Chain A
Amino acid sequence: MEETKKKSVPLKEWWRKNGAAAASYGGLIFCIILFSIVTPLRGESIWSPAKLATLMSDVIVTALMSVGAVFIYSLGNLDISIGKQIGLYATIMVFVGNLTGSLIPGILICLVLSVVIAVVNGASGPLLNIIPIIPSVVVMQVLSGIITVVFSTLGTRSITLRTIDYSVFKSPVLMFVVLAIEVAVTAFLFNYTRVGKYARMLGANKVAAGQSGVSLLKFRVLCYIIAGICFVVAAVFQMGYTGSASDSTGTGFEMNIMVALILGGMPISGGMRSRVSAAVVGAFTFSILDVGLPMIGLPTRMTFIVKAVIFLIVVLMTSRKKEGTLPK
């Protein structure tokens, strides 16, 4: 504990602790600098209000979802029912909105539903002694079934808000404010309360956390509930952008989350190095590529490939850890 020793914290150890974060922040900063310099040369700056609005609407849903999903990923778990949850919530919001003339009842129903889904997803693993990805597969199937039944009963593939004005949800300012609030609240929960601390501890070592008095069941369910609430918020913006929901809304979103989190430097096996900022950094990195690459003249058909290459590089740099295992 002497002062002299304090300064000589080995670089290696710093890198082990913060390497993933540094690499992913570096990637985002690199993208921002690159596009800030290159895009004005080609006529339109990425910092123009129109492009920033495009960026916000591109990033908002993924960012809102990923921030919530940090609580699940930090446990070392994987939830593949998220996309279908968004789809169902959006459908309910539109449907109930048309029935009642207000979005509030629909959102409340979704919040209640999200808690139920969180309890199923979070509790069945430890209670039935199965790896948590399995219940999430079952939930995904059930939700797909419900969505299919709803839309075939309605006799259509998409429904639209009829009387409610949803233009406010297209406002990039509102998007930014809501995202900022969600990040602030989750970052607080994640870093300064027991839920977040326990989530990381459980992700790192379930047995040791349990022997230190952490209830796996209770805190895993709490994490899923926090994530579920974030998913409802994301669903509002997903639905609000077009004022509609369809039978394919949300499909594959869980993969966007996984990509965003990994790009943001989230350890795929969860644990101590999990951070809320990974969700934000990752989601923005991906969206800035979405918006920026066409602006520097890359044909839209090529963006997927470029993004895939960048993803691969980041994965090789950050996730290639000996102890890294796939989330369950």
Chain B
Amino acid sequence: MNEVVFEVKHMHKTFGPTVALGDVSITLKKGEIRGLIGENGSGKSTIMSIASGKQKADSGEMIYRGTPWNPETMIEAQKAGISMILQEANTIPGVTVAQNIFAGRESEFSRFGIVNMKKMCEAADVLLKKFGIEHIHAGDPINLYNFEDRKLVEIVRCVTDETQILVVDETTTALSLEGRQILYKLIHRMAEKENKTIVFVSHDMDEILEHCSVLTVLRDGSIVGELSREEMDAPDAVQRIRYLMVGREIGDKYYREDYDTSHQEEVALELKHLTFGSIRDFSLTVHKGEIVGFGGLSGCGMHEIGRAAYGLEKLDEGEVICGGRKIKNPLQAIQSGIGYISKNRDQEALILEASIEENIVLPSLPSLQKGLMIFPKDEHALADQEIKALRIKCHSGKQLVNTLSGGNKQKVSFAKWSAKGSDVIIMDCPTRGVDIGVKQSMYALIEEMKRQGKAVLMISEELSELIGMADRILIMKDFEVKKEFMRSPDLKQTDIIEYMI
């Protein structure tokens, strides 16, 4: 049970001036579910991406099953038994599920150079069943399935009989609730029944505490602590891990502490009888100084409501009214004081190859314009003010956004709308992929928005933050609001979940 399978000794890795890993040593044993937790940029993903051949270390040594280990590619690593499920989507579009599962292994099903598709599909279906995935059919084109289901297909592809070490890198944020259950079952089966090693990289504390048998905490490229299962079960474990991750006492204050649900009488945003897509006759009134939370599973329609309120959906019926004006497109929405933070941060909310400054000032350009011209000093002033206010970690506003960590990127997408002075902020999964430290400051920011009389529409897949922040929570299922909860200290996740599923 305690046999060492993998060892990292004195590993270093730098990206430019950033030290991703500074002298890290870690030992993995058979049959353990090793949690790796840390803030963005702590190096938690880097260790295992080097182990699985995705990138190379600057120096250091790896030993896998008793011999030195230096994989050139991820394929080499996977064949040798180290598989990594990546954060990003990684399926091949335009082909079937089966072809995705057996990509690179077609020869197993081919005779005289011709692949027997039927055989491949059957084998894939058997495999899918074995993983407990009933709703995906091997013969279907992969494009029929959504992001969450494609992730499951990736998992099936990654994990083979030869797999000795499975690395799950922040995969659960990309999975639906059902998908997560499948993954959890899989890792427990592999670790407990098959004596394999699981490395579970995450910054979701609840998940880590529930499933890991041992936990390693990283900060700024170094290992700062290791907790056994017993220590994880201790009542103060969460506090202790948070302290280790952030390196300072972040205090108890995390979410809002008041339970005052009062708001101004004035209506900030009104959705009237919206009918579009699968949504039927949806109405909602948001007041100034009110935080309205939307919760549900990812396909419940809540994300679409956010898009519609910002003029991104073509409505069959109904209207969105803000400031006495009908909103039909994002430009009108912005002019009426609405800001929108998409859940697809890197694709929709930010222009990655542009600088922090260019991103922040983008929605404000029309108001910065003097005559025909936009003066660079006005742009700097506005951007610097927001960089300071939100404490975006960067060496200057000229730094490109794609060099920032997830949390700082998200701060930039917040900054766009605080720079614009928007009065209604629609935020879709505002803390997705963001670590505790940044989350804490985001929550403080949202609370400050409420105090300033801004209206916030908070769409989230994390119930805990809805309970922690919203004045009222609308729970959606099958494109309808199933239940409305008011803010209360007694509200528990378990009360809400039954209306979601």
Which one of B39-47, B55-63, B343-351 contacts A? B343-351
CB neighbours of B239 from chain A (8 A): none
1/0 per residue B297-336: CB within 8 Å of A? 0000000000000101000000000000000011101110
Which one of B119-127, B228-236, B393-401 contacts A? B393-401
Bound CA–CA A13/B342 (angstroms) = 27
Is A201 close to B, CB under 8 A?
A: yes
Bound CA–CA A198/B16 (angstroms) = 31
CB neighbours of B358 from chain A (8 A): 197, 201, 272
Bound CA–CA A213/B329 (angstroms) = 8
CB neighbours of B349 from chain A (8 A): 208, 211
CB neighbours of A213 from chain B (8 A): 330-331, 333-335, 362-363, 366
CB neighbours of B396 from chain A (8 A): 1, 6, 9
Is A210 close to B, CB under 8 A?
A: yes
Question: A205 and B347: CB pair below 8 A?
Answer: yes
CB-contact partner of A5 in B333, B362, B395, under 8 A: B395
Question: B394 and A194: CB pair below 8 A?
Answer: no
Question: A9 and B395: CB pair below 8 A?
Answer: yes
Bound CA–CA A159/B331 (angstroms) = 49
Question: B394 and A192: CB pair below 8 A?
Answer: no
Question: B347 and A193: CB pair below 8 A?
Answer: no
CB neighbours of B363 from chain A (8 A): 212-213
1/0 per residue B355-393: CB within 8 Å of A? 100100011011001001111100000000001100000
CB-contact partner of B365 in A197, A271, A272, under 8 A: A197
Question: A194 and B350: CB pair below 8 A?
Answer: no
1/0 per residue B407-429: CB within 8 Å of A? 00000000010000000000000
**Residue among A12, A213, A271, A273 facing the most chain B CB atoms (10 A cut-off):** A213
Is A43 close to B, CB under 8 A?
A: no
Question: A6 and B395: CB pair below 8 A?
Answer: yes
**Residue among B310, B348, B363 facing the most chain A CB atoms (10 A cut-off):** B348
Task: Scan residues 1-57 of chain A and give those whose CB is less than 8 A from a CB of chain B.
Answer: 1, 5-6, 8-13, 16-17
Is B177 close to A, CB under 8 A?
A: no
Residue of A nearest to B369 (CB): A194
Q: Do A205 and B334 form a contact, CB below 8 Å, given A6-B395, A197-B365, A211-B340?
A: no
Bound CA–CA A212/B355 (angstroms) = 15
Nearest Cβ distance between residue A317 and chain B, in whole angstroms? Answer: 19
Bound CA–CA A58/B351 (angstroms) = 38
Question: B403 and A207: CB pair below 8 A?
Answer: no
Q: Do A215 and B331 form a contact, CB below 8 Å, given A9-B395, A192-B373?
A: yes
Question: B400 and A13: CB pair below 8 A?
Answer: yes
Is B113 close to A, CB under 8 A?
A: no
Is B258 close to A, CB under 8 A?
A: no
**Residue among B310, B351, B369, B372 facing the most chain A CB atoms (10 A cut-off):** B351
Q: Do A273 and B353 form a contact, CB below 8 Å, given A6-B396, A12-B16, A212-B416?
A: yes
CB neighbours of A208 from chain B (8 A): 347-351
CB-contact partner of B374 in A9, A12, A197, under 8 A: A197
CB-contact partner of B353 in A1, A212, A271, under 8 A: A271
Bound CA–CA A208/B366 (angstroms) = 17
Question: B400 and A17: CB pair below 8 A?
Answer: yes
1/0 per residue A207-223: CB within 8 Å of B? 11111111100000000
Residue of A nearest to B312 (CB): A211
CB neighbours of A10 from chain B (8 A): 16-17
Is B19 close to A, CB under 8 A?
A: no
Question: A210 and B330: CB pair below 8 A?
Answer: yes
Is B95 close to A, CB under 8 A?
A: no
Bound CA–CA A212/B354 (angstroms) = 14
Is A204 close to B, CB under 8 A?
A: yes
Question: A1 and B331: CB pair below 8 A?
Answer: no
Question: A1 and B395: CB pair below 8 A?
Answer: yes
CB neighbours of A211 from chain B (8 A): 310, 312, 330, 340, 342, 348-349
1/0 per residue A170-207: CB within 8 Å of B? 00000000000000000010001110011011001101
CB-contact partner of B366 in A8, A194, A272, under 8 A: A194
CB neighbours of A207 from chain B (8 A): 347-348
Bound CA–CA A212/B342 (angstroms) = 11
Bound CA–CA A179/B314 (angstroms) = 45
Q: Do A8 and B351 form a contact, CB below 8 Å, given A194-B365, A213-B363?
A: no
Q: Do A8 and B369 form a contact, CB below 8 Å, given A192-B374, A208-B348, A211-B330?
A: no
Question: A8 and B354: CB pair below 8 A?
Answer: no
**Residue among B310, B353, B369, B403 facing the most chain A CB atoms (10 A cut-off):** B353
Residue of A nearest to B375 (CB): A192
CB neighbours of B333 from chain A (8 A): 213
Residue of B nearest to A17 (CB): B400
Residue of A nearest to B392 (CB): A1
Is B352 close to A, CB under 8 A?
A: yes
Question: A13 and B403: CB pair below 8 A?
Answer: yes
CB-contact partner of B351 in A193, A194, A204, A273, under 8 A: A204
Residue of B nearest to A196 (CB): B374
Bound CA–CA A211/B374 (angstroms) = 21
Nearest Cβ distance between residue A71 and chain B, in whole angstroms? Answer: 16
Q: Do A272 and B362 form a contact, CB below 8 Å, given A1-B396, A208-B348, A208-B349?
A: no
1/0 per residue B425-454: CB within 8 Å of A? 000000000000000000000000000000
Given contacts A193-B374, A201-B362, A212-B362, 13 further A-B contacts (CB under 8 A): A6-B395, A6-B396, A16-B400, A17-B400, A194-B369, A197-B358, A207-B347, A209-B351, A211-B330, A212-B363, A213-B335, A215-B329, A215-B331
**Residue positions of B touching A, CB distance < 8 A:** 16-17, 310, 312, 329-331, 333-335, 340, 342, 347-355, 358, 362-363, 365-366, 369, 372-376, 387-388, 394-396, 399-400, 403, 416
14 cross-chain CB contacts under 8 A: A5-B395, A6-B396, A11-B16, A12-B16, A13-B400, A192-B376, A194-B366, A200-B354, A205-B353, A208-B347, A209-B362, A212-B416, A272-B354, A273-B353
**Residue positions of A touching B, CB distance < 8 A:** 1, 5-6, 8-13, 16-17, 188, 192-194, 197-198, 200-201, 204-205, 207-215, 271-273, 323
Closest 4 CB pairs of A and B: A10-B16, A213-B334, A212-B362, A213-B331
